[in-house]
Amino acid sequence: MSSRTPRLILVHEPERACVDRLVADGHAPERAAEIAFYLAQSTDLAQEFDMLAGACRARGLSFAPVLLDDAAKALAGEDPGTTLVWTLTDGIAYFRGGAAPALARLGGFKTIGADDSLFALCQDKFRSGAVLGALGLPVPRAGLARDGKWLVKPPASAAGWFVKPNRLGAKIGIWPDSRSDDLGHALELSRRVFAAYRDDVVVQPYVAGRNVRASFLGLTPQVGVEALGVAYVDSGADFQTMADSLALYGETGEAAKSAGHYTEPELVAVADIQPAADARVRAIAGRLMSGLGLRDVFSIDLRVEADDTIHLIEFEVCPGLPCFDFRAYCRQQWGLELADAMAETAASRLSGPDRRV
């Protein structure tokens, strides 16, 4: 039954459901678990659903977490005039979260985040890189390989190349040898990735610099790039591997914490050290918002060199909300813990004259 009480519905795809589906499709259980790990924010945020419900109640909203597989049925019983849909996890290939904003649009619901076309684009790194390049943004050119064969040859690079999966939703290189000085080795990596994950690989010229994460949450619809949080993410390594990621989030992250092996990378504001680079990152974010359509909540990963040269690596329409860096951003930018920041964002879209679809 529809309710007149403003309502936030958070649609999410859990790790376990993804693992079971991938195993049923023939993936090895260990590989399926690694793939599903990128849904770890569903695992982590589920522990805070009660807090999020309380934060919503304090602002006159009701809250309902909805499993992706139940989303169509759940939305069918809601009032589009008073219901806001927030999709926690993206995906069109291994993950299926991109179906949620499409369902919301089909039902005429208001949404938090980019439109559903970007949920598809962001997971395909080769295609998204082509679009970002067409917008004039500083993204490294890329080649594409599948199981040891070039689909598109990469550009020459005196610094070597970086090899990463195309659709696994990550910038990581999977293994420590993902930076390569030899294109033959890059093709070998493509064979390994295809055998393990059935994915293509993007092969980009290696770019130097420090890893930077730019986070954005529009607490109100009027907020722009001035609310972007731009920070170095220093883990002590040049790039993140699968093993590094597994130690930070989800069930494996909890195990690492229990074993005393969990160490969060250090976050340092880019503006404090390289103000010119900070300004350039904000300009890039502005271009992504105006030219690509990012809005409400997103993150951008970049490499920043000492001379303020910026390399745009990727964007995410479903940033890891419960991850350490986004929590730190909410506290620093908005003075709020994650649950209150999410509830406040939802309330601003569901009340007052500034509501938008």
- Its CATH class, for the domain covering 210-350, is alpha beta
pLDDT band, residue 304 (cuts 50/70/90): very high
> Does 343 have pLDDT greater than 80?
yes
Q: What is the pLDDT of residue 240?
A: 60
Q: What pLDDT is stored for residue 18 in this prediction?
A: 93
Q: What residues have CB less than 8 Å from 277, skipping those under 6 apart?
A: 270, 304, 308, 310
Q: How many C-beta atoms lie closer than 10 Å to residue 125's C-beta?
A: 26
Give mean pLDDT, residues 272-291. Answer: 97
* DSSP symbols for 161-200: EEEEESSSS----SSGGGEES-HHHHHHHHHHHHHHHS--
Q: What is the pLDDT, as a whole number, of residue 2? A: 45
- What local confidence, expressed as pLDDT, does residue 92 receive? 81
22-48 pLDDT per residue, tens: 999 999 999 999 899 889 999 999 999
Domain boundaries defined on the chain: 7-113, 141-205, 210-350
> 346, 352, 354: which is closest to 84 by C-alpha?
346
Q: Is the pLDDT of residue 12 over 90?
A: yes
**Greater confidence, 316 or 173?**
316
CB–CB of 78/104 below 8 Å?
Answer: no
Q: What number is the average pLDDT over the span 173-181?
A: 83
Q: What local confidence, expressed as pLDDT, does residue 1 receive?
A: 41
The pLDDT, as a whole number, for residue 249 is 59
Q: Is pLDDT above 70 for 153? A: yes
- In three-state secondary structure terms, 126 is helix
Q: CB-based burial of residue 52 (10 Å sphere; 0-12 exposed, 13-18 middle, 19+ buried)?
A: buried
| pTM of the predicted structure, to 2 decimals | 0.90
* Angle between helix 49-57 and 338-350 (nearest 10): 40
* Residues 21 and 68 sit within 8 Å (Cβ to Cβ): no
Rounded mean pLDDT of 101-122? Answer: 93
Q: Do residues 77 and 71 lie in contact, with contact meaning Cβ atoms separated by under 8 Å? A: no
